[in-house]
Structure 1
Amino acid sequence: MNRIQAFFFTFILCTVIPVPGLAQQDQNETTKSVKASFKKTVAVLHPTEGNTSSGTVTFTKVEEGIRIEADLSGLREGMHGFHIHEYGDCTAADGTSAGGHFNPAGSPHAGPEDSPRHAGDLGNVTVGADGTASYSRVDDIISFQGDHNILGHAVIVHEKKDDLSSQPTGDAGGRLSCGVIGIANTEKE
């Protein structure tokens, strides 16, 4: 077999016989590309055991940071603590599997406009007599990359008002609902 025949034989083998792991590598590259380019995430909140609170929280990348918008229902009238927590785990009946507030910088607990604060300190939602609440603000601490990346963390609505100062949780009480932040399907919009 001369060099030209050997070249063509090798070429045919490489194009016909799949290389193990190559398809997985292509799939991983596609997944990385999607994750690197997403502009919106969503958490669908479900009630913890014995509660009725539910809702949707979206996080959208905007020029000033991340716009947070929440639509919640099934809550008692008044103010309720609202936080991003350290784990994307809502498996515990009481929501405690989500851990404490998301705090990658090791900062003290505070209000959403304070500095320093936990990255997950979003303050309070105000619930009307009909049991619903809306929340909208832009946050410049959380992000979709780096140490303050919120993807895969949980959003929790608490039973009481966050006093924005008690350490480490703002004395916001139990967890009424929990949802994990994932990449939003923007193709449906």
Structure 2
Amino acid sequence: MPAEKETLFMKIRALLTATALCLAGPAFAQGKAPAAKEKAAAKKEEKAATKPEAAAGATANVDVKDAKGQSLGSVTLTETPHGVLVKGSLSNIPPGEHAIHIHQTGKCEAPAGAAAFTTAGGHLNPAKKKHGVLAAEGKHEGDLPNLYVNTDGKVQFDFFAHGLKMKDVQDQDGAAIVVHATADDYKSDPAGNAGDRIACGLVEAQK
């Protein structure tokens, strides 16, 4: 074969080879894409399978005591997606209707010469509202329904504190559960005209 024809033949063959490779490129890419997507999906599923389940709601136990330091029972606070569930069982409480609130400071002291449990401060009120569900500008996050104590001095209760979070009661200075001598009228600021504080319990984290 003459040199010119051989050179032309080699050029044509190289051109055909290059054209074939260009046409095959997209096909190769299309073949790899599903494999890459499948690999990414499998990795995502594996990660989801190994991810730990969400932790249960934060819980705190409260030992409620009278001014003499005698235990009257316990209250449990449990965080939910919508607020805090407040459950309790108390005894040796005077029969009748009593206010119960969450107060802003975790101190249940009864200083000599001072009203009992004033160290617990006012009601828990991070939103700076007025007291009581009947108040137009209410309510405090620490406001709760009244207790109705039987003639035997015992009471069990389940309350739901809507919008309250455990971080509000477990901040740097803690919080306290306080029982009052009389009922909350749900409107008088700042404490519902509920009378003296007859019992108090520190909010502590569940261990």
TM-superposition CA deviations, 1:88-107 (whole Å, max 9, x none): 01122411111111111110
Confirm whether residue 165 of structure 1 aligns to residue 187 of structure 2. Answer: yes
Q: CA deviation at 1:65?
A: 2.2
Match of 1:48 among 67, 70, 73: 67
Question: Once the 2 structures are TM-superposed, how far is the Cα of residue 59 of structure 1 from its aligned partner?
Answer: 0.6
Calculate the aligned-residue CA RMSD, in Å: 2.4
Unpaired segments of 5 or more residues in structure 1? 1-35
Contact 1:85–1:101 (CA under 8 A) maintained in structure 2: yes
2 CA distance for matches of 1:101 and 1:66?
16
Indicate the residue corresponding to 1:176 in structure 2. Answer: 198
Question: What is the deviation of 1:64?
Answer: 3.3
Count of residues in correspondence between the two structures? 146
Structure 1 residue 54: deviation in Å? 1.6
Q: AA paired with 1:40? A: T
Give the deviation of 1:115 after TM superposition. Answer: 7.1
1:66-77 to 2 correspondences below 5 Å: 66-77=84-95
Percent identity reads 33
2:159 & 2:121 partners in 1: Cα distance? Answer: 24
Residue 75 of structure 2 aligns to a residue whose secondary structure is: strand
Is the partner of 2:127 in helix, strand or coil? coil
> Which consecutive segments of 4 or more residues in structure 1 shift more than 3 A?
none
Letter in structure 2 aligned against 1:125: L
Matched, 1:133 2:152: no
Q: Identify, as 1 or 2, the structure richer in helix.
A: 2
TM-score (norm 2): 0.64
Correspondence for 2:146 among 124, 135, 138: 124
Q: Distance in 1 between matches of 2:89 and 2:200?
A: 14
Q: Give unpaired runs (5+ residues) of structure 2.
A: 1-54
- Contact kept? 2:82, 2:163, Cα under 8 Å: no
Q: Return the structure number with greater relative CO, CA threshold 8 A, min gap 6.
A: 1
TM-score, normalized by length of structure 1?
Answer: 0.70
